[in-house]
Structures are given as C-alpha cells and as structure tokens.
Amino acid sequence: MLSVDSDRRRRPTLDTVAAAVGVSRATVSNAYNRPDQLSSSLRERILETARSLGYAGPDPVARSLATRSSAAVGFMLPQGLSGAFSDPALSIVLDGLASTVDGHDHVLVLLPGDATGGPRPSIVTRAQADVMVAYSLPDSAPALDAVAARGLPLVVIDQPVLPGSARVEVQDFLGASLAASFLLDQGHSRFGILTFALRPDGVSGPVSADRRSAVPFRVSRDRLGGYLDTLAKAGVEPDNVPVWEARGSDRELGRLGARWLLTRTPRPSALLCASDQLAFGCLQAARDLGLSVPSDVSVVGFDDVPEAAYSDPPLTTVRQPLAEKGRRAGELALKLLAGGRPPRPTRLDVSLVQRASTAPRT
Amino acid sequence: MLSVDSDRRRRPTLDTVAAAVGVSRATVSNAYNRPDQLSSSLRERILETARSLGYAGPDPVARSLATRSSAAVGFMLPQGLSGAFSDPALSIVLDGLASTVDGHDHVLVLLPGDATGGPRPSIVTRAQADVMVAYSLPDSAPALDAVAARGLPLVVIDQPVLPGSARVEVQDFLGASLAASFLLDQGHSRFGILTFALRPDGVSGPVSADRRSAVPFRVSRDRLGGYLDTLAKAGVEPDNVPVWEARGSDRELGRLGARWLLTRTPRPSALLCASDQLAFGCLQAARDLGLSVPSDVSVVGFDDVPEAAYSDPPLTTVRQPLAEKGRRAGELALKLLAGGRPPRPTRLDVSLVQRASTAPRT
DNA sequence: CAGCATGACTGAAGCGCTTCAGACACGCCA
DNA sequence: TGGCGTGTCTGAAGCGCTTCAGTCATGCTG
C-alpha cells in the first residue's frame, strides 16, 4: 500500500525529464508530439533519458485535458454485456465500429445498460469520451438526455432520429415485410411471430394488443410491424396471429417462445422471428416437439449472421449489412468529432436470403 | 464547424456556475462531490443554476486529472473484436468483468489486438485507464511491456504469471487430461486434435512437432499439452495423432479443420477440441461427410458454453466457470486499484460434462 | 555589412477540476 | 464574558500536459 503510493508519487513527469535533460518542458513535449520542432539529436537524448527515468510518455489524462479530446468513442448498450454479446449481430456491428475507430487511434469505451434500457445517466455523465454511439436504445432513454446535457456529439444505430444526431439504420420494416410476403407467396396462412424485447422491462410471454402499441424499441417495432402489417394486407387478422416476446435475443429464449407458438391451436405452419438467434431456438423447439423443418413448419430469421448458413437446416432469413452498419457508425462518429454536421441518415439495404428452413405449404 | 467550436468554447465550467451563484468554485465542486460540506439550500440553488446554465456536471477528464483516477478498466484482447466475439466464452467472461466493475462505477475500455497478438503499445500507452486486464495474450506481448512501462496495475486472465500482476485462470491442463482420459476409458485409440491458435500469426493448418514447441499462448499450450501428454501416457504416440490448428476459435474454422482430421487414414474415432466452437464445427464436418456422431466419431469440446447443451447432439465438454473468471478478474482489478498487493493466483476448477457427442468405441 | 528568413528552443498561460488549510460567524458552555 | 467547538464557505496550490508568441543565434542574400 505504502509502496504503491510512493510509486505513484515518484512517477516521473514531463518536468522530471526536462530537468534531467536540461531543457524546457515544452521541448520534451515536442519530442513526443512534434518531432519536427527540435533537432533529432536532442530528441534522441530526451527519449533516451525518459526511458532511463522510467517515463512512459505524456500522461493520457493530462494530455486529454490540454487538448480537449480524449480519443475515445463511447458505446452505449441497451442491456448488460452477457445479454448483448449473446447476439452475434451486435458483435459484428461492434467489430465494424471498433476497426474504424481503432484505425484512427481511438479506443472504445463500453457503457453497458441496465433495466432502464440503457446506461445509467450518471455513468454517461462521467465517461471520458468525446463522442457517443447509441446502439438500439429505447426511445427516450435517460442515457440520451445525459448525452445531450453534456453536449456530446451522438450517433445512433437502429433508433429514431434525435435532433442534432447522426444516424445509421437498416430498413427493418421493409425486411420484415419481405419475409412475410415470401411466406404468403408460399401459400402459408397460419403464422406465429417471435419477437425480442418490445420494452426494457425484462418480460417474456405472449404479447397482447395493448403491449404492441407504443413500443419504445424501434427495431422491435418495425420488424413486428412489418410482419403484422404485411399479413394484414393479405387478409390475415393480426389478432389471429400469436406473438411471443422474448426478453432477449438468444437461442434458449427463442426455444421457449417457439414451444408456446407451436402448441397453439391451430398450429402455425410458419414462424416469423425478429432475429436469427430466436430462429435457431425455433429449430430446436421444432426438433423437441418432433416436428420437421421445413415440411411441418417453416422458419425465417432476421440478420443473416454467419451461422445462419450452417444451422440445421440452413436458415431462410433477412440479410442486413451488419459490419457495414458498424463501420458507418464509426465514420460518422469520427466525422462529428472533426466538427462535421450530421448528414442525412442513410438506411442500409436488406434482402431476403432463401435457404432450407422454409417450404411451400403443402 | 464554427458553431460547434463556439459551442465548445461557450460550455460552462465550474467557474461559470460559481460566478453565477456568487460563491467560490470550491463550493460548486462540493455541491457535486461532498453534499455534506454545504447547506442543502445553497446546494439546491447551485444545482438549479447549473441546470439553467446547461452545465452537466464536472468535466470527467479534468476530474480525473485532479483525482489521479479515471474510473476505467482497460481490457486488452489478443485479436480484433469480430474474431474475439465469435467466441462466446469471451463474451461471458467479459460480462462477468463488466458487471463487477460497473457496480463500482467504472467503465470498460476495449483495446482490441492486432496481428502481433495484442493491442499496439502506442494505444496502451495512451489509453485512459488506471488498471489493465489482459485476456489470453501471448507470452511477452509488446502490450504487456507497455503496461509495465506505465506502471499500471495488471491482472491477467489465462496467461502465465508476470511479476507484480494478479492472475486468474483455470486448470486447462487438467481439464484437457480429463477429457482425454475419458475417451481412453471409452476404448478409443485413434484420435485427432483440433486446437485454436498456437501463435499469433494467423496460420491455419496441420501442426508439425516443431510448431508445438514454445507455444506463446498458455491456454493453447496447456490444452494441447494436456491432450497429448495424457494420450502419450496411455501409449498413444503423439506423432501418430494428427493435430490441426485453426487460427481462431469459430465454428467455420473448426469445420475446416475437422474435415481434414476426419479424412486422415486411419480415420480418428475421437476428436479432441480446444473449444466448444471448434467442436461445433466438428459436428458440422461429420454431418458433411455423412458420419454420425457419436457412433462413427466421438467429439469433445472445451468451455461448456451454454450452447453446448443444445447442439445436435449435445456436446460432451470440459466445463470451466466462465462468468466467475470475469468476476474474479474484476474484483482483482478493483483491489489493485485500491492499493492492494496481488494475491496468490487461484486456478478455478474444471470438470467433465458428459453429453451425447461421445460414445464407447464399438 | 545591414537586413532578414530560418531553425531551435523557451516562458507562461491556460485546460477544468479537487482538496486542504484556513477564515468567519454563530451559538454554547462554564 | 471569554473560550471553544461547529457548520459553512473560500483561496490558492496543485494535477501533468499543450501551445503559442516570442527570443536568440546562425547563416544567407543583395
């Protein structure tokens, strides 16, 4: 304890090095940040002395204060990390984002959410980041107000536009409607829908018409809406379509929901899922019940994660450009950081990928 | 651009608020950090004024400089994020870690690695964190030197002990040997081994005896060593055991390797994998080749990720307490931060979980 | 040789906050 | 009445760095 403290106290600073070399502090700073401002021989001497003194370079925090930039991008999640990362779609988006900002020497600061559907405002207020990226937070999450209060630039992924923020998202409604149309074309008429959280309250279960209104998660809203609207236009009453809400997007929760859906009477001949993970759960549930996919029941997912091509059977799903989404968000963040204005939001394309988990109704 | 700049310039500070209220800066600071140091009526007045001025609270960077603490834990990965998160084991560990540090109002700063098997030293040097957690980095990664140079406390997960650092890890060697013994007991004698990266050079392919020596990743070293040593003790020559190295730990790379292993002559009757993800790839490869698991070939994994219970067939695997690993690492990090000395490393337990992917040799 | 551009280095003013040793007024006890 | 503890608030010294306007030789031009 004592020794750690004294370690800390003894840590050399720019001044220590400057004094040791016999130059001004500014010169030492230049040795690190502006090599062209001093002779290379002096620079060498400074770096050498710094090394021998155990000086590892300018303190990042002090540097940030002086430059008013922390070289960090905050990433706000709607939930805790385990829930979050069980969704491979997030990992891919995050990777796209990370590789973009990493290439510009920025780091990613992770702000996990809690039951309110986003990070606590207090943690947002104290996070050292100079731009925030919000991933699929519910409308009007307190975290968003905290970002606004700090005046930080914001880019939102999969979320309605907020004044002054940049946005990237995909055409979820269209994607869902593509999937529903496809199944209708295949002759299906009895459907079941498996969605992930409509609200950040951790509830799983059948969805009442009441709960379907004013859904704060845009993605859930659009995918569910896309499914139901398309079915309705084809004459399938929304009230006759059982909907199960899973509180998260993982396989096991999907299995649970699918078990319920597949035991309704009459049994749906096609299941529409809000994510591939949920769809994988459906495949499992069908197997559990001795049903065969696609001859007894067709299943479609959403996202087209890599695994969708290898499931048994391979999954028919709606493809969205996940990595691209992350990359775009990263570029937008860097652009805002450089003082750019938020451009018009672009909605990335979606398309239907037909594989073996769907078949015409026989 | 201009307006952003002026926005920035105009942002109120403690002084702005102090002047507006007519008190000293110290008092405003106390209003936020030490409510007991001023009358609650004054405090209310200060907070109210701050709000009306658009002051969102003390600037985190300046605060960090003054307190010499940034309330952030750095997390260093051996590879880029996409590779990393395709491994569910990492997500679970990360979640355990995040929930622990989050509970103490710390955030996680992600430092993705590159081809050198860890984050670039420059990014480590500049990251604003006051303790680092290294996850499965190779021995002597440059990033580790950078941490040492900064004098930051360090906790390592799945890595050999470094002087002065805290450590948490599981008994990988023992786990591997448990799995190998089990298969030997089941009467198997022809084995194949599927490991993830032995070196951070991005190479996939059959492993020569040469490449098996001086493996810098401790986990790979111990799991592979545990398999081979145990087999050797039972009289199975290591040179007769084909080993495939996948450059990452994902299903598709596993499938590729298993395809090679399952087409050796004589064909192995049992496959030992370094991770569940790789094992899932084996299941897929077996299916591709028209082999049935477990009657034609037995497969064991390592980790016991949740999905292992739901694969087809459910996976026999070595269980390690993943979430616990992350939690412990988080606790250690917080302890070091508080000035504690690194305690003796604890190796967490492993155990074999028998499911349906293995069967006695017929 | 005056005049001037150039390169190398420095002084000092911040960046926005925390903290700690007081200062000050007030009420209380002896 | 004098002394003293208490509750409030302040002044000023940092935290470690960047940056910008200079200063000072030095060498070059005309």
Which of B65, B149, B310 lies nearest to residue A65, judging by beta carbons?
A: B65
Query: What per-residue confidence (pLDDT) applies to B79?
Result: 85
Q: Residue B3 pLDDT > 70, yes or no?
A: no
**Nucleotide with smallest C1' distance to residue B65 CA:** D15
A317 touches strand D (CB under 7 A): no
Q: At B265, give phi and psi (nearest 5°).
A: -120, 125
CA distance B127 to A318: 38
Alpha carbons B262 and B251: distance in angstroms, whole number: 16
* Distance between CA atoms of residues B243 and B240, nearest Å: 9
Nucleotide nearest to A27 (CA to C1'): C9
Residue burial A163-190, b: 16+ Cβ < 10 Å; e: rest:
eebbbbbbbbbbbbbbbbbbbbebebbb
pLDDT band at B84 (very low <50, low <70, confident <90, very high): confident
> Best of B1, B114, B128 to disrupt the A interface by mutation (most A CBs within 10 Å)?
B128
Q: How many CB atoms lie within 10 A of CB B91?
A: 25
Q: Do B252 and A287 touch (CB under 8 A)?
A: no
| Low pLDDT (below 50) residues in chain A | 1-9
Helix axes A40-53, A25-33, angle to 10 degrees: 100
A149 touches strand C (CB under 7 A): no
Identify the closest residue of chain B to A51 by CA–CA distance.
B149
Any bridge partners for residue B352, and if so which? B318
Q: Distance (Å, rounded) from C-alpha B173 to C-alpha B178? A: 9
Contact predicate B135/B328, CB 8 Å: no
Lowest-confidence range among B234-238, B297-301, B336-340? B336-340
Within 7 Å of a protein beta carbon, the nucleotides of strand C are 7-12, 14-20
Question: Which residues on chain A are in Cβ contact (under 8 Å) with B60?
Answer: 125-128
DSSP string, A273-310: ESSHHHHHHHHHHHHHTT--TTTT-EEEEEE--GGGGT
What is the pLDDT, as a whole number, of residue A5?
A: 37
Bridge partners (DSSP) of residue B295 are none
Output the pLDDT for position B4: 39
Interchain CB distance below 8 Å, A70 and B61: yes
The helix or strand, by DSSP H or E, that contains position A33, with its residue range, turns out to be: helix A25-33
Distance CA B141, CA B143 (A): 5
Please give the average per-residue pLDDT across B125-141, as a whole number: 94
Helix (H, G, I), strand (E, B) or coil at B272: strand
A299 near A283, Cβ under 8 Å?
yes
pLDDT, tens digit, 9 for 90 and up, residues B183-203:
999 999 999 999 999 999 999
- Residue matched to tokens 């395809």: B259
Instruction: Determine whether B263 is exposed, middle or buried from the number of CB atoms within 10 Å of its CB (0-12, 13-18, 19+).
Output: exposed
- The 10s digit of each residue's pLDDT in A40-86 is 999 999 999 999 999 999 999 999 999 999 999 999 999 887 677 77
Q: Nucleotide C15: nearest residue by CA–C1'?
A: A66
Q: Which of A56, A61, A287 is the closest to B128 by Cβ?
A: A61
**Of chain B residues 38-97, which have a beta carbon within 7 Å of strand C?**
57-59, 62-63, 65-67
Is pLDDT at B115 greater than 90 in this prediction? no
Q: What's the rounded Cα separation, in Å, for the pair A349 and A272? A: 20
**B249-291 residue pLDDT tens:** 988 899 999 999 999 999 999 999 999 999 999 999 999 999 9
What's the CA gap between A285 and A281, in Å, rounded? 6
Q: Which long-range contacts (CB under 8 A, 24 or more apart) does B210-215 make?
A: B211/B245, B212/B243
Find all residues with CB under 8 Å of B60, minimum gap 6, and list them.
A125, A126, A127, A128
Contacts of A199 (CB under 8 A, 6+ apart): A117, A138, A211, A215, A216, A217
d(CA A88, CA A305): 7
C-alpha to C-alpha distance for B342 and B362, rounded to whole angstroms:
51
Identity of the residue in B4, B123, B287 whose CB atom sits nearest the CB atom of A339: B4
Buried b or exposed e, range B344-354, using 16+ CB within 10 angstroms:
eeeeeebebbe
**Pairing mode, strands A107-111 and B107-111:** antiparallel
* Chain B hits for A284, Cβ within 8 Å: 310
| pLDDT recorded at residue A166 | 95
Rounded CA-CA distance A316/A353 in Å is 6
DSSP assignment string, A207-244: PPTTTTSS-S-HHHHHHHHHHHHHHHHTT--GGGS-EE
Q: Is the model more confident about B161 or about A51?
A: A51
Q: Which of A134, A138, A135 is nearest to A147 (CA)?
A: A134
Strand C contact at CB of residue B13, distance < 7 A = yes
Q: What is the pLDDT of residue B80?
A: 82
Round to a whole number and report the distance in Å from the CA of A20 to the C1' of D20. Answer: 25
In this model, does residue B229 exceed pLDDT 70? Answer: yes
β-pairing verdict for B191-195 and B243-245: parallel
Q: How far apart are CA A59 and CA A57, in angstroms?
A: 6
pLDDT of residue A312: 86
Q: Which residue has the tokens 């023992």?
A: B174
pTM for this entry = 0.91
Please list the residues that pair with A206 across neighbouring strands: A244
User: Which backbone phi and psi does A48 adopt, to 5 degrees?
Assistant: -65, -50
Mean per-residue pLDDT for B65-78? 95
Q: What is the pLDDT of residue A91?
A: 85
Look at strands B191-195 and B205-206 and give their pairing.
unpaired
Task: In whole angstroms, give the CA distance from residue B215 to residue B111.
Answer: 23
Report the distance from CA of residue B25 to the C1' of nucleotide C25 in Å, as an integer: 21
Torsion, Cα B207 B211 B216 B219, to 10 degrees, reads 30
Contact A31, A47 (CB under 8 A): yes
Residues pairing with A194 in the sheet: A244, A273
Q: What is the mean pLDDT of chain B?
A: 93
In sequence order, what are the residues at sequence separation of 6 or more whose Cβ sits closer than 8 angstroms to the Cβ of residue B44?
none
Mind giving me the DSSP string for B15-58? HHHHHHHTS-HHHHHHHHH-GGGS-HHHHHHHHHHHHHHT--SS
pLDDT digits (tens, 9 = 90+) for B42-63: 999 999 999 999 999 999 999 9
| Closest residue to C18 measured CA to C1′ | B66
Q: Which chain B residues are within 8 Å of A1, Cβ to Cβ?
A: 339-341
Q: Which helix (H) or strand (E) holds B138?
A: none
Distance CA A320, CA A323 (A): 9
Report the pLDDT value the prediction gives residue A73, as an integer from 0 to 100.
97
Cα→Cα distances A130→A109, A145, A161, B168, Å: 10, 16, 20, 33
Q: What angle do the packed helices A276-288 and A88-102 form, to 10 degrees?
A: 160
B90 CB neighbours strand D below 7 A = no
Does the pLDDT of residue B1 top 70, yes or no?
A: no
Distance A23 CA to C10 C1' (A): 8
